Chains A and B, each alone.
Chain A
Amino acid sequence: MATAAHRIARTREEDSPADEAALAAAYEAAFDAAVAADERIEPRDWMPDAYRATLVRQIAQHAHSEIIGMQPEANWITRAPSLRRKAILMAKVQDEAGHGLYLYSAAETLGTSRDELLDKLHSGRQKYSSIFNYPTLTWADVGAIGWLVDGAAITNQVPLCRCSYGPYARAMVRICKEESFHQRQGYELLQALSRGTPEQHEMAQDAVNRWWWPSLMMFGPPDDQSQHSAQSMTWKIKRHSNDELRQRFVDICVPQAESLGLTLPDPDLRWNEERGHYDFGEIDWTEFREVLKGNGPCNEQRITQRRAAHDEGTWVREAAAAYAEKHTAKDITKDRSKDITKDGAKDGETTA
């Protein structure tokens, strides 16, 4: 398969590179052609600065969401009501840390570093998904997060498996597999509650009532207010608009809620025969903007805990670095002396 890089290499030979502007235009044309042909852009390929910047922003925000997203669920690990549920929840939170790691690696292929990105998260210069600024108040919230929040994430992320940037697309393939597993587990948790005692059923309904609207907000602002959408779609980073994905999610959730025996907290929700979709009520965009601005119920708590974990871990990371330095230095000295002994002073270059 011809990659963008090959295409550019060919372009270079064919056109005389004397003219810098012509060369830049050729790079850009090759990039556009690669994207148009659904080829993957790889780390060493030329790409527009704005494409690089938007990917760094999106992948970093995605990674941060995995890391901050551990908190609302980890909040229930020590209180999980059965050992089976506790094991499932621990495994899920562990997966999220793993997803964060994949995504930071994907972002690093674009020329940034994990430290730099974490620093931006801690200082509020980069965001994470608004959903994680809501509190987990009961055990049922763990199920609602699995069903609705992971469900919304999957609806968003499955198209990203075909994203034009190779490392991101490949990370998403791995992540989506695990996410759909989590989503099924969340659904099954809610099902057990919904069919359990009246108190358990009520707990499940209350959780769904609190998480439904924030989950719909995960798809971002409406299409006419989404600042990055058009460019991202041209570049094939995004494949569908916010509103399209949100509609798809609602259409999936309504029958699932019915089969759970739970209701969705929207009096305007009804099937529209003409459109072949569910109509649903207006989202509270004021709340959405407030949460994004940092005024949600848990924004302060989430970022404070993240910073604290990082700051309190500084001495540990410093110890690891100091140990590695000491021992690498020793090992190199050892290897060198070995080389010298083995080769003698044959060419006198082994110590160079």
Chain B
Amino acid sequence: MAAALALGDDALVLSHRLGEWAGHAPVLEEEVALANIALDLLGQARVLLSMAGDEDELAYLREERAFRNVQLVEQPNGDFAHTIARQLYFSTYQRLLYAHLAAGDGEFAGLAAKAVKEVAYHQDHAEQWTLRLGDGTEVSHERMRRACQALWRFTGEMFQPVEGLDVDGEGIRAVWLESVSAVLRQATLDVPEGPQSGAWSAGAGRQGLHTEPFGRMLAEMQHLHRSHPGASW
């Protein structure tokens, strides 16, 4: 069940981060779009966590060290460009992963077949905004460039092997790189490179080693549930 937990935590944590945007988006259409993506991810998380146990126990009663999401999805929202860069990197990966899982006959095939349609929309949304911000104004170009650069080092982790998941990580990485690079180029942005770009690409969220903002996120997410042990809602 390690794999269900890893994929479920990815979706749960990113959904939570997107939920933080509610009431703060730059335009009303994005209130709808970001909430919509958050809801899709939460739906995926609930199916995956339920495969691993009780969804609420897993979401609300595990400590930080027991979460198995990649560090990319726990990164704070930052500005809109930061959120879009995170979304571009992750949804491109998730689409490739789910397309692969949907094509197989493993335990995730059913979920993946449904989720891949949702994720295709998420990826399209992120790509469209990457183009608008990268190839928009000077200000938006610079913000998008910085965001893509800052988050690049968290991308390597997505392609590490996950116990119980029959996926060729290196194969997915190659296609991912091609897809993301094409979008960045079209958005007049450089593909991040140089010594900084791979500095933490061995990130260890899958092993329960997270970044500092994650603990605070969990404190907020879990506090009410933990304040009323055994209650049902």
Interface residues of A (CB under 8 A from B): 67, 70-71, 74, 77-87, 90-91, 93-94, 97-98, 100-101, 104, 139, 189, 192-193, 196-197, 199-200, 305, 308-310, 312-324, 326
Contacts and interface: CB of A to CB of B under 8 A. Distances in A.
B35 A83 contact: no
B28 A97 contact: yes
Contacts of B22: 70, 74, 77, 90, 93
Interface in B176-230: 220-221, 223-225, 228, 230
Q: Name the prevailing secondary structure of the B interface residues.
A: helix
Nearest to A313: B26
Contact of A318 (B28, B39, B139): B139
B118 interface: no
B26 A93 contact: no
Contacts of B220: 78-79
Nearest to A306: B23
Interface stretch (B42-50, B108-116, B119-127, B149-157): B42-50
B105 interface: no
B19 interface: yes
Contacts of A71: 23
A309 B139 CA distance: 18
A93 B35 contact: yes
Interface string B31-69: 110011011001101100100000110011000000000
B23 A70 contact: yes
Interface of B: 12, 16, 19-20, 22-32, 35-36, 38-39, 42-43, 45-46, 49, 55-56, 59-60, 79-80, 131-133, 135-137, 139-140, 143, 220-221, 223-225, 228, 230-233
A82 B224 CA distance: 9
20 contacts: A67-B28, A77-B20, A78-B220, A79-B220, A83-B12, A83-B45, A84-B46, A90-B39, A90-B42, A94-B32, A97-B31, A101-B29, A199-B228, A305-B23, A309-B24, A316-B27, A319-B140, A322-B136, A322-B140, A323-B136
A81 B228 contact: yes
B26 A309 contact: yes
Nearest to A98: B32
Nearest to B19: A77
Nearest to A324: B132
Contacts of A200: 228, 231
Given A90-B35, A200-B231, A312-B26, A79 B221 contact: yes
Contact of B27 (A83, A91, A199, A317): A317
A317 B26 contact: yes
Contact of A82 (B38, B56, B80, B132): B56
A83 B46 contact: yes
A320 B228 contact: no
A80 B150 CA distance: 30
Nearest to A94: B35
A318 B225 contact: no
Interface centre among B16, B135, B231 (most CB of A within 10 A): B231
